[in-house]
Structure 1
């Protein structure tokens, strides 16, 4: 079949005026996030963009996944991305969590491991899963709480990393309750003392308020 005798020129190709900026922002986001699978991540990026949802984009470039503790694939930056995407719902479907996890190119084995820690079913309370994510990153209870404060805080970067006492108490109690070596009475005593300590600070807990009471 002969090739159609058609000539194209730049004037015949319509380029949407917003396309250059979209591609510029996409490229910058990919560089900051450094996804393992650029195609899978791109699907998640443009899907979220089309729905007006928070994008699967890190605030800044992190160290390579292979250098993270335990080589889980999960990083503080990725957990913060998941929090931005999923925290608006107190409880989310397992399918939605799996989709967001997959779009960040995180290993499915890690997701299954975290879900088994509390025997989650088809519905997952986000704040509990978030707590387990902090624990997976840090190991010890106090280090996990420090990580949680740094992700949840509305303080400027490098500040006190404060969060409301009630939020801190819930996360601490939940993680401590999963550790058979921490007596319930010890948890209650620690939280009671901390509550008195931060009463003069509008019940806001910062990293410095508990960092001297590590239970590693």
Structure 2
């Protein structure tokens, strides 16, 4: 209903019935996500909401990553947001990634470094970029994979953090090749050593499996 030309009292203002719930959900999302730039994040939130797209919202309030000596910007919660938004297709455009990245107020230089490290063109293979994001969080190959499992798993928080073994193989192989000093024989032997555990878990692998095998 259009507003009258002149408003003389509060009763003339028509408030949509869903507005209180929308604002309540927005407030809860902002508290969980703790965006550095609230206005920029809010614009991205309501834009995604209007389009029925995944919202730039963390599952929960997260503490700083203990392995990060300085604030690198990217966190497991923020990487999970990006994964939820951009993993619907095998690839995404660089422009699309930049928009989602900036909406979370993440450092532009960090994005440039990751894009350069992966030698990406205009089209970005999402799982490869995701793997690089995990490496930025983890520092080492195994800790990067641990973050990958914890972000990708459908298990409840604190559970086994299981993911499909074929996904693990792709992430491990990509990061190992990227390091450049991991022999192919070591990669093959390591993956083969995991197969007995995987067979018992219906094609899934969990964090404890590869940590034990590697050590």
TM-score range, shorter-chain basis?
over 0.9
Aligned match of 1:186: 186
Structure 1 gap ranges (5+): 1-5
1:86 matched to which residue of 2? 86
Asked whether the 8 Å contact 1:75–1:137 carries over to 2, the reply is yes
Cα deviation for residue 203 of structure 1 reads 2.0
Matches within 5 A, 1:47-58: 47-58=47-58
Q: Following TM superposition, where does structure 1 have runs of at least 4 consecutive aligned residues deviating by more than 6 angstroms?
A: none
- 2:3 is aligned to none
Is it true that 1:101 corresponds to 2:114 in the alignment? no
RMSD: 1.7
Task: Encode CA deviations 1:16-55: one digit per residue, 9 max, x unaligned.
Answer: 1111111111111111101110011011000100000000
Question: For 1:35-54, what aligned pairs fall within 5 Å after superposition?
Answer: 35-54=35-54
Distance 1:187 1:74, change over 3 A: same
Q: Is 1:59 equivalent to 2:49 in the alignment? A: no
| Gaps in structure 2 of 5+ consecutive residues | 1-5
The SS at the match of 1:73 is coil
Q: Distance in 1 between matches of 2:67 and 2:20?
A: 35
Q: Which residue of 2 is the match for residue 111 of structure 1?
A: 111
Say whether the 8 Å CA contact 2:64–2:75 is kept in structure 1.
Answer: no
| Secondary structure of 1:56's aligned partner | coil
Aligned length: 210
**Counterpart secondary structure, 2:25:** helix
Partner of 2:145: 145
Contact 1:41–1:103 (CA<8 Å) still a contact in 2?
Answer: yes
Q: If the length of structure 2 is used for normalisation, what is the TM-score?
A: 0.93
Give the structure 1 partner of residue 164 of structure 2.
164
1:189-214 alpha-carbon deviations (Å, 9 max, x no partner): 10011123321221210111111244
For 1:4-83, list aligned pairs within 5 A: 8-63=8-63, 68-83=68-83
Greater shift in the superposed pair: 139-148 or 188-197 = 188-197
Are residues 158 and 30 of structure 1, via their aligned partners in 2, closer, same or farther at CA, if it must alter by over 3 Å? same
Q: Give the Cα–Cα distance (whole angstroms) in 1 for the partners of residues 147 and 57 of structure 2.
A: 19
Distance 2:65 2:194 in 1: 35
Q: Contact 1:66 / 1:73 at 8 angstroms: preserved in 2?
A: no
Secondary structure of the residue aligned to 1:96 is helix
- Could you say if the C-alpha distance between residues 23 and 67 of structure 1 is closer, same or farther in structure 2, counting changes exceeding 3 Å? farther
Question: Which deviations, in whole Å up to 9, do the C-alpha atoms of 1:77-128 show, x marking residues without a partner?
Answer: 0001111111111001000000000111111111000001111010000000
CA distance in 2, matches of 1:205, 1:186: 19
